[in-house]
Amino acid sequence: MKIRTLVIAMALMVLAPNVSRADEGMWLLSLIGKNYDDMKRAGFQLTPEDIYSVNQSCLKDAIVGLGRAGSPFWHFCTGEIISSQGLVSTNHHCGYGYLQSHSTVEHDYLRDGFWAYTKEQELANPGLTASILVRMEDVTARVTENLSDDMSEADRAKAVAKVCKIIEEEAVEGTQYNAQVKPMFNGNQYFLFVHIIYRDVRLVGAPPSSMGKFGGDTDNWSWPRHTCDFSLFRIYTAPDGSPADYDRDNVPLQPKRHLKVNAGEINDGDFAMVMGFPGTTDRFLTSYGLEETMDITNKLVYELRTVKINILREEMAADQAIRIKYASKYASCSNYWKYSNEQNKALRTLNTMELKRQVEQDYSQWARYQRAFKYNEALDMIRKGYADRRDVRRAQIYLGEGLISGSEAMQTAASIGTAVEYYPDRDISAYGGYISNFYKDYDENVDKRVAAAMFAHVYAHMSPEYCPEFLVKANKKYKGNWTKYVDALYKGSVFANQEKWNKFMEKPDMKKLAKDPLVVLGKEVNALSMQLSSQVPTESKENLQRGIRNFTDGILQINQGKRLMAPDANSTIRLTYGNVMSYDPQDGVSYHYYTTMDGVIKKEDPDNAEFNVPERLKKLYKEKQFGNYTNRKGEMPVCFITNNDITGGNSGSPVINAKGVLIGLAFDGNSEAMSGDIDFEENLQRCICLDSRYMLWVIDVYAEAKNLIAEMDIVR
């Protein structure tokens, strides 16, 4: 988000920032009418009511937020309904964990792909949910009517929570809906979101990982791209159409709206919009927050995950069973590992720190002439708040990434130990399902290697002032031999492997469980993390919150009437719009707007698992069996790029053309603009998309899943 001063009046300082290009912004659907003229200029041919309406079916009714039971309003990915029978497309990496959970050495769906040629073959996924927006409403006036600047942040939070709960309960009374009030603009606005959440979502199809993850870590966050990043699910309901848990008698959802799927031409400059559930952006972040993000969060996450990733790579390459068990966990770990490093590179290259400081300088000039003192003190509050927590934040990341997320056995032991402590009357067998799922994708030797490496790294790099006492003692006792230390820990723990756990369950002993070495260590690390948080003065925490909210309010006041501003992403449904567009990332380099299957074949490397190409794909390519899915040049399109504004959570989002037709699935961004979550770079930011024609070709020709093609509305 770039805000630059154009006019500074002598009597009254007024900022008049440049109006950003229309493709910046993750816009709330109910307010999209304010952008309508810009959208038409970009090529949009529908109306705002075609996007969002509470009185008629519209595009929002075809957009699905994929989540997990227990966290219904956090969406890890987006999907779209592409048939009248509740068929949903999303990214391969969004369905990867579920594909992995159904895989075995005998039925390796990660390696071979999975296709259901009848509905009876579709696979249930307990805990997976699909949310569809029913309506949204601006409730700012009601939430804030009894708030004042004199309230403490704690009292303010309690007052907000109280009225939000009332609003949510009123919104769903007498319905099967779920509701949540979400803050926007760092607590300066509030919106109510009402969803219907379906709980029976089944796996329908996915290409093999050699296609769905083609390019792996090497190509991640880069263009040109040749990844077949899609998977298919289906939403089921009770016979009466209501949400229901999995049951054999459930029936496919009959949606209010589904998207037609494009098999026709896509041209450079075509209108493109993305609708989905973006997770988090932080475009009102100050230079002080940016410094913490770059020098602490991103730097340490990359450093610590590198240790873990190197071990997992070795273990997975050596054993198929290990590869299956750790595939999803590795993918999750490696994605943010590369993101954190590439974001720092982009932030430095694009000089984002200086841009933030310029914004703050302009803001300070404006604030001097405001009657409300809260604007003048906001930046000082923010600066001091970040400074006060700097050392603690560094220590917390070492604890979180290095220890809490290091040993899986220790993390599980701490969770069970804490649960038993809080719920002493609950039978230990109640945790059987959780433990069984844990051991299904766990290997003791791999976990011990990771634990030893993480213990060694944290001890060597963490400030001695905050380093856990058990690491200090272990280093002294075992003379720096962390493998020997970990061997001793696991030898004495019932959590080391499933055999030990099963033996413990034959005659459970709660006193023994409480003294289990992994339980003790896990609880110690968690307690230390909480203790660290308490070392930051409460006043400093409150001032940081207040400062951020008031600074954001000031930016909104400055820009009122000058430019439209979108709130940061927060896992609520949004729309971004722009165009299919090539770009020039650096001097002498130009990137075309699409890729073809030719690139898949040329990238093939039999000695590199990231660039393996299935024999069937090579055969079909050689025989030019492309069906009716080629472009006008006779090429088989694979991916394309747009200048849409996206972030995590948008994975799987539909890319929709001017007429409301699905032309692709968003699945990645480009490394040159990895600063985008913090500062949108309008000239470089690109959304990398799977071409719908490649998806259709894989379903139709490669997989021969004619049953799925038959239920789609395909347009050319």
Catalytic center residues: 93, 229, 651
Chain-centre distance of CA 244, in angstroms? 26
Distance CA 405, CA 457 (A): 13
Closest CA to 357 of 287, 275, 458: 287
Closest CA to 554 of 13, 126, 113, 8: 13
The DSSP code for 541 is: H
User: Is 670 within 8 Å of 223 (Cβ atoms)?
Assistant: yes
Q: Which residues contact 493 (CB under 8 A, 6 or more apart)?
A: 409, 413, 500, 516, 517, 518, 519
Closest CA to 401 of 286, 487, 525, 500: 525
- Residue 316, judged by CB atoms within 10 A of its CB (0-12, 13-18, 19+), counts as buried
Q: How many helices (H) and strands (E) does the chain have?
A: 26, 22
Distance CA 2, CA 624 (A): 47
Q: Cα separations (Å) of 661 from 456, 479, 582?
A: 53, 64, 21
- Joined together, the tokens standing for residue 457 give 């790294």
Q: Cα separations (Å) of 366 from 356, 373, 404, 558, 632?
A: 15, 12, 45, 8, 55
3-state secondary structure of 27: strand
- Joined together, the tokens standing for residue 422 give 């809080």
Distance CA 529, CA 467 (A): 11
DSSP states along 399-438: IIIIIITT-HHHHHHHHHHHHHHH-TTS-GGGGHHHHHHH
Distance CA 407, CA 518 (A): 9
Peptide bond into 654 cis (omega under 30): no
For 622-639, b/e burial (b = at least 16 CB within 10 A) is eeeebeebbbeeeebbbb
Alpha helices, H only, 52-152: 92-101, 109-112, 140-144
Crossing angle of the two packed helices 444-461 and 299-318, in degrees rounded to 10: 150
Q: Cα separations (Å) of 104 from 100, 333, 335?
A: 8, 22, 24
Q: Which residues contact 487 (CB under 8 A, 6 or more apart)?
A: 448
Phi–psi pair at 380, nearest 5 degrees: -65, -40
Distance CA 565, CA 185 (A): 10
Q: Which residue has the tokens 């009848």?
A: 118
Distance CA 576, CA 29 (A): 10
The DSSP code for 131 is: E
DSSP states along 217-278: HHHTT-SS------EEEEEEE-TTS------TT-EE---S----EE-S---TT-EEEEEE--
